[in-house]
Amino acid sequence: MYGWVECGIGAFALAFPWLFAAIRAISLAAQHGSAALTFFFDIALAALLVVSPTMLMGGTIPLLTQGLSRNFSEATLFHSLVYAMNTAGAFVGALAAGFVLVPWLGLEASIRTMSLVNLMAGLSFVAMQRCEPTSHRVATSERFAPMGFTSYLAVAMLAGFAMMTL
């Protein structure tokens, strides 16, 4: 599930320039009445652009927390570690976007690049699930903290980096 959510975020980010252009065209072409109606119409259009990726991004940390913790008492520890790494990645991503990527690649190429990073991360998780033999899969209640937990923290950091870069 986590992999598909990351893929959704990457796909939405990849399509965002075209979606934004379409929403902008609708806003400019629409017959507006009063200033208040125009304002609320544009708010509704902006919500179309923001709601889906926001919900997807908001689901990543809870999904990682659920997937990595063995039990409820461990969930707090894993949640804080994943959240901390995601926040650290977001901080570095915001700096990289403003001071390195956008000046170097431009805005659209930066968006495309980070979209592809998100898609690759998501597809990696989907592929890991598909490669796991069915006989070794365990129910959610029987999950264990995976070996190489550090790699999952690195993914959380990379996801935060990519999102804040976008």
Count of domains for the chain: 1
Mean pLDDT of 40-65: 89
pTM for the predicted model, two decimal places: 0.71
pLDDT at site 15: 94
pLDDT tens-digit map of 74-112: 888 888 888 888 888 888 888 888 899 899 999 889 889
Q: How far, in Å, CA of 56 to CA of 54, rounded?
A: 5
| CA dist., res. 90 & res. 108, Å (int) | 19
- CB-based contacts of 13: which residues, under 8 Å, 6+ apart? 53, 111, 114, 115, 118, 166
The pLDDT assigned to 141 comes to: 44
What is the domain extent for residue 129? 2-165
pLDDT, residue 163, reads 63
Cα–Cα distance measured from residue 5 to residue 62, given in angstroms and rounded to the nearest whole number = 11
Mean pLDDT of 15-28: 93
Q: Chain centroid to CA 145: how far?
A: 22
- pLDDT tens profile 105-163: 998 898 899 899 889 888 988 888 766 555 444 444 444 445 556 666 677 666 766 66
Q: Out of 2-11, 52-61, 139-148, pick the least confident.
A: 139-148
